[in-house]
Amino acid sequence: MPDIGLLNGEFMPLRHARVSIEDRGFQFGDGVYEVVRTYGGVPFQLDAHLERLERSADAIGLSMPIPSAQWKEWVGEGVARAGYPECKVYVQVTRGVAPRDHLFPHKTTPTIVMSVREMRPLDPVLCQSGVVVMTMDDLRWGRCDIKSLNLLPNVLARQRASEAGAFEAILLRGEMVTEGAVSNIMMVCGGRVITPLEGVQILSGVTRRFVLSLARKAGIPVEERNVDLKELRRAEEVFLTGTTIEVLPVVRIDDVPVGSGQPGLLTKRLRTFFLEQIAR
Ligand code: PDD
């Protein structure tokens, strides 16, 4: 049973997992999610992902129907059942199935779903040579710290970037850089790693935090503060972080090369630290 689905506590082949068309996740995007990957078959930073899931649910007034111990058991079992060398685990909780009405339903059981698929590593050529990104307006709402199902602006941004030949969209509120459509962004200036501050305008990335802690441990100064586009364009190095992309160098922003136009030294060092930690 390779691709695994879990629907309200019941495991099944992914293709058999079906939810109602009246699920509020489907009709309103009324729910929250997480994406977790495994390394060596072990879910990476699962506690941090589950904490964020809980925070996101709380923030939309959805009480998490199950404790994190139950999630851990399901994730472990899903990964074991799938049996892939590495897995990508998607978990989602919605406000449940109810006749369509914007108001919260009085008595509805949240819908819990999980999928486990094979995690294929990112193309090693991209990791070595770096990627191009495209800047555009951040059209999202005012609570980007919540990992909600409402991803239309992210979807449109990433699609637009992809159609323009870029790997990722970099989102801007006026001149301020927020993050990527599916990643956080960091730059290197004068030997310091600088990244937009946590707050309502960005998702507090699990990989972001992990990479910042690696940098601090390695004695690399870190600054979390507002970043504007001019600074980003002048940065010596730029890289993205995220569950699926790890630490990924950026070599061009729109038409402007980053630094020398090659992945930077500090970015490569951080990527190596990251991979070393994972290997442990
Ligand atoms: N997205 N910012 C946004 C908007 C994201 O969607 C993501 C991840 C990140 C990075 O967060 P983390 O390091 O916790 O993966 C930042 C996931 C992978 C997704 O939606 O598929």
pLDDT tens per residue, range 185-242? 999 999 999 999 999 999 999 999 999 999 999 999 999 999 999 999 999 999 999 9
Same domain, 20 and 137: no
Structure tokens given for 89: 């685990």
Which pLDDT band, with edges at 50, 70 and 90, does 84 fall under? very high
Same domain, 86 and 171: no
Testing ligand 1's pocket by substitution, the residue of 53, 184, 186, 244 carrying the most ligand atoms inside 8 A of its CB is: 184
Q: Taking residues 31-54, report their average pLDDT.
A: 98
pLDDT of residue 280: 82
Same domain, 50 and 13: yes
Same domain, 239 and 254: yes
Same domain, 53 and 32: yes
Catalytic residue among 72, 147, 230, 268: 147
Same domain, 146 and 33: no
Q: Which atom of ligand 1 is nearest to the CA of 202?
A: 2
Which of 118, 141, 173 is the endpoint of a domain?
118
pLDDT of residue 26: 98
Same domain, 68 and 93: yes
Same domain, 21 and 82: yes
Same domain, 218 and 160: yes
Residue 167 has pLDDT above 70, yes or no: yes
Q: Taking residues 141-151, report their average pLDDT.
A: 98
Enclosing domain of residue 109? 4-118
Which of 98, 118, 138 is the endpoint of a domain?
118
Which of 76, 100, 118 is the endpoint of a domain?
118
Q: How many domains does the chain have?
A: 2
Spacing of C-alpha 146 from chain mean position = 11
Residue 43 has pLDDT above 70, yes or no: yes
Mean pLDDT of all residues belonging to the chain: 97
Cα angle 211-212-217, degrees, rounded to a multiple of 5: 95
Same domain, 51 and 140: no
pLDDT of residue 107: 86
Structure tokens given for 186: 């960091």
Q: What percent of the chain has pLDDT over 70?
A: 100
pTM of the model: 0.97
Contact between residue 51 and residue 138 where contact means Cβ atoms under 8 Å apart: no
Contact between residue 118 and residue 84 where contact means Cβ atoms under 8 Å apart: yes
Which residue type, as a one-letter code, is found at position 133? V
60-69 confidence digits (pLDDT tens)? 999 999 999 9
Which pLDDT band, with edges at 50, 70 and 90, does 112 fall under? very high
Which pLDDT band, with edges at 50, 70 and 90, does 1 fall under? low
Residue 52 has pLDDT above 80, yes or no: yes
| CATH code of 85's domain | 3.30.470.10
Same domain, 174 and 253: yes
| CATH code of 262's domain | 3.20.10.10
How distant, in Å, are the alpha carbons of 42, 121, 140 from that of 118?
Answer: 13, 10, 30
Same domain, 47 and 110: yes
Which pLDDT band, with edges at 50, 70 and 90, does 123 fall under? very high
CA-CA distance, 127 to 240, in Å (whole number)? 11
Is 147 a catalytic site residue? yes
Query: Which comes out higher in pLDDT, residue 202 or 106?
Result: 202
Which pLDDT band, with edges at 50, 70 and 90, does 39 fall under? very high
How distant, in Å, are the alpha carbons of 25, 26, 184, 186, 233 from that of 212?
Answer: 33, 35, 12, 10, 21
pLDDT of residue 88: 98
Q: Which atom of ligand 1 is nearest to the CA of 207?
A: 13
- List ligand 1's pocket residues with C-beta within 6 A: 35, 154, 179, 182-184, 203, 205-208, 241-244
pLDDT of residue 195: 98
Q: Which atom of ligand 1 is nearest to the CA of 244?
A: 18
